[in-house]
Amino acid sequence: MPKERIQKQNVCNAGEYYIAARLSALNFTVTITLGRAEKYDILALGSKGQLIKISVKTTQNEKARDFPLSQKDEQGASDDSYYAFVKLKGFVVEPDFWIIPSKVVCPLIKEADKRWLKTPGRNNKQHKRSTMRIFPIEVSKSQAYLYPDNWNGQVKQYHKNLQQLL
């Protein structure tokens, strides 16, 4: 029997609840905003009183190498803001996730978009402006010119690393 495709909203919810559960296990008081906050999916209060805001991006595609973001994600970097990128992997095994500070994500996608716009596309034509941004968890050869040379090594420090939030 073919596996039923999970609805997009349920995929998003699963990622948010998964990250919320992991934070709760680390003694954070966690609230999922359920769409009531424009930029954040989770607000979490640490045991030392620090408030953090997390935007969660989720995929069920275990082979995904990047996550879509928007032009809005270029703005709003702050010390208390993070992105959680979650690969559910069908919940057959524990999901992969990366917790990355917005101060890393925001400038990285902004710079990558600038480079992409300056680089000729198919048939040597200029790329058109888009509100879509791509955030790589693993940089492919075709994306290599957009992101820092060491990004594939650097991103490993954020894989399943919730300790940076403490």
- Summarize pLDDT for 34-61 with one digit per residue, the tens: 877 788 999 999 988 999 999 999 999 9
Better-scored residue on pLDDT, 112 or 3: 112
Class of domain 8-165: alpha beta
Q: Reply yes or no on whether the pLDDT at 16 is more than 70.
A: yes
Whole-number percent of the chain with pLDDT over 90: 72
pLDDT at position 1, please? 42
Q: What stretches of 17-164 adopt beta strand conformation (E)?
A: 29-32, 42-45, 51-59, 66-70, 81-87, 96-101, 132-136
pLDDT at position 41, please? 96
For residue 56 the two structure tokens come to: 């969660």
Pairwise CA distance, residues 96 & 137, whole Å: 11
Q: Where are the domains of the chain?
A: 8-165
pLDDT at position 98, please? 98
pLDDT for 64-116, tens place per residue? 999 999 999 999 899 999 999 999 988 788 999 999 999 999 999 999 999 99
What average pLDDT does the segment 10-34 reach? 95
For residue 115 the two structure tokens come to: 């480079």
Q: pTM of the full predicted structure?
A: 0.92
pLDDT at position 66, please? 96
pLDDT at position 3, please? 64
Which residues neighbour 141 within 8 Å (Cβ) at sequence distance 6 or greater? none
Sort residue 8 into left (φ over 0), alpha (ψ -120 to 50) or beta. Answer: alpha
pLDDT at position 47, please? 87
Pairwise CA distance, residues 160 & 132, whole Å: 26
C-alpha separations of 107 from 74, 81, 97, 117 in Å: 6, 13, 20, 15
